[in-house]
Structure 1
Amino acid sequence: MQWAKNDSRSTYRWLGWMLCLGIGWRVLRWSLGMPMWGDEVMLALNFLDRSWDGWLQPLDMGQVAPPLFMLLHGTLMQISGYSEWILRLPALVFGIAALLLFARFAYDVVEQRSALCAVAVLAVAYYSVRHGSEFKPYALDLLLAVGLLFAGHRFRCNPFGRWQISGLVLVIVLAPLCSFPSVFVTAGVITGLLADALVKRERYRLYLTLGMVVLAIIMVVTQYTVIIVPQAQASELLKTLWQGGFPPGNGFGFLGWFVAQSAGRLMAYPLGGRHFGSVLTLLLVCVGAISLYRTRQWFLLWIILMPFAGNVVAAALHWYPYGQSARIAQHLAPSICLLAGVGVVTALSGRPKKWVHRRLVWVLCGLSVIGLGGMAEVMARPYKSRGDLSARDLIQQTLPALDCRTLQVVNTVDTVPVNFRWYLAIDSATRFGVDPFEALEYKDEPVCLLLFDAKRDPDTANRLEHALKKISASQQLIRDEVQTAYIYGGTHHPHQVRSIVVSGG
């Protein structure tokens, strides 16, 4: 594609390409049906053996999720089942909707080249793509953040329009029910609108804005008292995992912590990592913020920077971490990508004019390579860890191929590793905590027993060994093997799985 100065058609051709690339990558990850991994499984297990009112109760395994997320997915599971495609379909829809809405927002608030770069960064941002095809509420965090920014901007442009008022009211009401960290974006948008109304000194604009402020306060208080407080036990467990996202007490330590967190995974757009792995994006964000300041775009600068300030304050109070992971900071992704897009164009504009457009094409080509490379990588490695794949294959392919219609687990359900527990639990023919003596009695079909982590549960292992010694001569041991290298949560926790299949002679 050629870039022509003052030719919006080139801009929109590039925009169409980047949107197709971003959507294609997201759809590809979803369509591969990658095996569920630990964090997804621990949330999904909360839907089993619960009715709709149970979905709104505090969750097990240290999990938290907003109520509308739980109701939507619980209903979907009851209607369509528990396949990976069904569980992740809402995240796919949320992720694609967020990308498209962000494109509209960016083109409304900044000039075309900056908007194009911002959309391109979000389109191929690894973490936003990944969480747009995972069974977690992070894609919903991104969508609500973009929705709040867009609705706030449209309301400011026309505070008396019916659609602008109803749109902002709708997103303010839905945000706390769908996304916990959306409160930071809501605070930025509402305070920005209030300051703008005070500066313009328009009475009816101010009255409408004050009404929005009151509504937002009511919804935030409702979120805290009705949703967050009942889940306090899970929140305390999460705080132990979030320690790195909370600042130290002294001033110098705080500054170093803030810079390190901001240059880490928080700003991994499109790529980045810990230990200053995202410092380039941080620099571009700073350049973009300075550019908006110089062009006096006060309202826009306020609503995209205030979520950072609110998040830092929450981290200082040990309420919500700042910068520890990109997945729990998807509400900041629109601000990061927009500022980075402005920063790229600002940095290129300092070059000789005849080189600006060519270098911008190089940037877009580089972002395209990231997207295409990501698609190739996920096709070559369609799983988060090989252990996740092994767990699913054992339960859904290896044992059924041996004509095992009933899977009998010697362990009690709470001692089974979570990935295995999920794939076993969604199989209605699975039995947990079985007596190996009774299970190994002669039957017309193969008997499959599973024992997990024998070293951690020696009594259960001994009972199984004793039962195996009493197998009658008319039975044949088809399969008795040990499988290891099950990886959970990104940390190596090998679980020994002994699968035993016995069939009648």
Structure 2
Amino acid sequence: MLDAPTVSAPATETSPPPRTRWFSRLTWSDLSLLPLAFGVLLYVRQYANHLPLWLDEQMISRNLRDRGFGGLVGELANNQSAPLGWLWVQRALISVFGTDEYVLRLLPLLAAIGTLVVAWWAGRRWLGPVGAITLVTVVATSAAAIRYSAEVKQYSGDLFWTMLLLVAAMVLLEQPRPAIRSYVLWWSLAGLACLFSMGAMLATPVFAVVVVASALARAGWREAVRAAAPFLIWLALFAFHYLASLRHVVGSEFMATFWGRRGYPPVDAGPRQLAGWAWDRLEVLGRDPLGLLPPGQGAHYLEIASHLFWALFLLGCLAAAWHRRPFGALLAGVVVFAYVLAVAEVVPLYMRMAMWILPAVYVGIGFAADAGARLVAAAVRARRMPTAVRSPRALAGGLVGAAAVALVGVLVAPLAVAHADPPALVNTDERAAVRWMAGQHRPGDLTLVLSSSRHAVPWYADSLRPRREPKLWEMPAGGTCKFTDLSAAVDGYQRLLLIGYLKEGPAATTGNRLRADVGAIGTVVAEGPFGPSMIALVVELRPAAERGPTGCYELF
């Protein structure tokens, strides 16, 4: 009898784990992707306007174009300053892609978008949908972020690196006992940020103190030493940056003269004056860099909006501290330290010099809105709405959330429209005016350039040579000209080209006087169609014997 064939059991197949669809990982906080997309649209639209460079952009761009990587180490020309890392990346971009405005402004655009992305990630991690949407929306419609996303300046980088460093510190503080590599990574990030952002450099001491103090409170001196030891990484990068670049900025006589008393308290201010200055500073910061004054609104609106905004920030610091105590210290510490630096006359608390505090302020507003929404939601879930409404805690939380959302809602539309629309270029398009003048230029011409356009001409048309910069010298009654009249200045030339932006001040005075004087020495044969704020004249000169008297000018 034959045995029945043995049938082996089929091999068990291991079924692959089910694939997780990307949308299944979304949370309600990801509704903040909508204002993120809106913010990217605003930034890209501002970038796409392709506006000509203005004076500050022209001055830093001339350093970038005319110097190599080694030349950007040390003191920059035209009284400019920027982090060395930012300068080197910009130099690398124009080395590969050229000096068009799109290339020069690409890094600022990416930094602004990066700030939005980090804000979205922070909202997703720590905030509910209301807080996350509020946080991303205030960043998306930030007047400072929109403006500097399309300027050849490093200030959008201040927003990005400070926001990234703040969020990284919050992640570090969440860990029960961070590994030494976590501290090393954070200090390395702080060192990298030091090379790219002066604002992040100012915020680093605040974040570092909170991180080390938290380690000390949690596990004693040994843990605090572990947290502080990688500081040497940051110190090495800071020392390199200081020796290579920053030492030429610190104590700069030009910067001290330029900023003057702006952003600092009054000299010899007593306690009452100092308190008044600190209170008024909230409104000053509300105007710039926060940009809380929409078009068509007056000072009264700004006073209410700015103080409401700062009240929400204070409540947001308390809410962040409720979530995790060091979080509140991180947010409040940045603003307090900014006041300390201003009182010590180290860094003015004014305009773009105060942009490094904005990430902490925006995150605080997000926490304020989130706290209010959570309290209201808890009351609704408990079905104790009448009791909850009478509860001071729930009522205060609801008011905070409602105020934050209302403030954002009121400001979003006008700010978005105001800062996304390109300014009119009819009277200020130096790029078009200089290139038009370059097309008119021919051998035997002398070009006179007003001081307000002294950098626009060599940037957009360095071929306009020879060129001189005239400065009007007002003669006293009955006096004689110490320098030269216009007629003598143009001797030996066939034509005179006159170009410049009539900016308020000496440039406008000189320009208007020159416009009147050219009729005495020649005939205007061509005038650029750039409006009354831009002078662009081609003058056919008369023989010296036929010229009339003109004003007295000093030529540089």
TM-score (ref. length: structure 2): 0.71
Measured against aligned partners, the alpha-carbon deviations of 1:459-486 in whole angstroms (never above 9, x if no partner) come to 99999778747xxxxxxx7414696654
Asked if 1:425 is matched to 2:465, the reply is: no
Aligned partner of 1:252: which letter? R
> Residue type matched to 2:346 in 1?
W
Higher deviation after alignment, 258-267 or 27-36:
258-267
Amino acid at match of 1:450: L
Equivalent residue for 1:150, pick from 167, 187, 191: 167
Q: Is the 8 A contact 2:142 2:291 kept in 1?
A: yes
Q: Which runs of 5+ in 1 are unaligned?
A: 1-6, 442-447, 470-476, 487-495
* Secondary structure of the corresponding residue to residue 133 of structure 1: coil
C-alpha displacement of 1:501: 6.9
Cα 1:298–1:212 shift into 2, 3 Å: farther
3-state SS of paired residue (1:181): helix
> Equivalents in 2 of 1:223, 1:204: separation in Å?
30
5+ residue gaps in structure 2? Answer: 1-23, 294-298, 386-396, 469-488, 501-506, 541-556
Alpha carbons of structure 1 residues 269 and 281: separation in structure 2 relative to 1, 3 Å: farther
SS of the residue corresponding to residue 337 of structure 1 reads: helix
What residue number does 2:433 align with? Answer: 394
Question: What residue is the counterpart of 2:314 in the other structure?
Answer: 286
For 1:82 and 1:201, locate their aligned partners in 2 and report how far apart those are by CA, in whole Å: 53
Written as runs of structure 1 = structure 2, the 5 A alignment for 1:174-185 is 174-185=192-203
> Secondary structure of the residue that 1:154 maps to in structure 2?
helix
- State the distance in 1 between where 2:341 and 2:197 align: 16
Listed one character per residue, the Cα deviations across residues 378-437 of structure 1 (whole Å, up to 9, x for unaligned) are 56x413775433x223223x457xx53669973567x5423x632553335332427856
Distance 1:454 1:14 in 2: 51
| Structure 1: distance between partners of 2:284 and 2:445 | 43
CA deviation profile, 1:193-231 (whole Å, cap 9, x unmatched): 111111121676434312133434444455445433223
Equivalent runs, 1:330-479 vs 2, <5 Å: 330-347=355-372, 367=408, 371=412, 373-374=414-415, 376-377=417-418, 381-383=421-423, 387-389=427-429, 391-396=430-435, 398-399=436-437, 404=440, 410-411=446-447, 415-418=450-453, 421-433=455-467, 440=494, 449-452=497-500, 456=510, 468=522, 478-479=525-526
Cα distance between partner residues in 1 of 2:283 and 2:126: 26
* Matched-pair contact (CA < 8 Å) for 1:28–1:375: no
* Partner Cα distance (1:250, 1:283) in 2: 25
- Indicate the SS of the match to 2:538: strand
Q: CA deviation at 1:257?
A: 0.9
Which amino acid letter does the alignment assign opposite residue 291 of structure 1?
Answer: A
Residue 50 of structure 2 contacts residue 101 of structure 2 at CA under 8 Å; is this kept in 1?
Answer: yes
Match of 2:478 in 1: none
The 1:118–1:84 alpha-carbon spacing in structure 2 relative to 1, beyond 3 Å, is same
| Corresponding residue number in structure 2 for 1:321 | 348
Q: Following TM superposition, by how much is the alpha carbon of 1:16 offset from its aligned partner in structure 2, in angstroms?
A: 1.4
Shift of 1:175: 2.0
Instruction: Flag the structure with larger Rg.
Output: 2
For 1:169 and 1:459, the matched residues in 2 are separated by 58
Residue 261 (str. 1) matches residue 281 (str. 2): yes
Q: Do the aligned partners of residues 221 and 78 (structure 1) sit closer, same or farther apart at CA in structure 2, a change above 3 Å counting?
A: closer
Aligned length, in residue pairs:
465
- Report if aligned partners of 1:482, 1:499 keep a CA contact under 8 Å in 2: no
How far apart, CA to CA, are the structure 1 residues paired with 2:184 and 2:128? 27
Distance verdict in 2 for CA 1:409–1:371, change over 3 Å: farther
Pick the aligned partner of 1:95 from 106, 109, 112: 112
| 2:107 is the counterpart of 1:55 | no
Computed over aligned residues only, the root mean square deviation of the Cα atoms, in angstroms, reads: 4.0
* 8 Å CA contact 1:289, 1:301 repeated in 2: yes
What secondary structure does 2:277 align onto? helix
Find the residue that maps to 1:243 and give its secondary structure.
coil
Percent of matched pairs sharing the same residue: 16
* Structure 2 equivalent of residue 131 of structure 1: 148
What is the CA deviation profile of residues 107-156 of structure 1, one whole-angstrom value per residue up to 9, with x for unaligned ones? 33444432332122112112212112211111111111012112222333
Determine which of 67, 70, 92 is the counterpart of 1:75. 92
Call closer, same or farther: CA 1:152–1:232 in 2, change over 3 Å.
closer
Q: Point out which structure has higher relative CO (alpha carbons under 8 A, 6+ apart).
A: 1
C-alpha displacement at 1:337, in angstroms?
0.8
Distance in 1 (alpha carbons) for counterparts of 2:413 and 2:513: 52
For each residue in 1:356-384, what CA deviation from the matched residue of structure 2 results, as whole angstroms up to 9, or x when unmatched? 999979976984785555554456x4137
Distance change (3 Å), C-alpha of 1:49 and 1:466: farther
In structure 2, how many angstroms separate the alpha carbons of the residues matched to 1:432 and 1:357?
A: 68
For residues 308 and 362 of structure 1, what CA distance do their matches in structure 2 show? 21
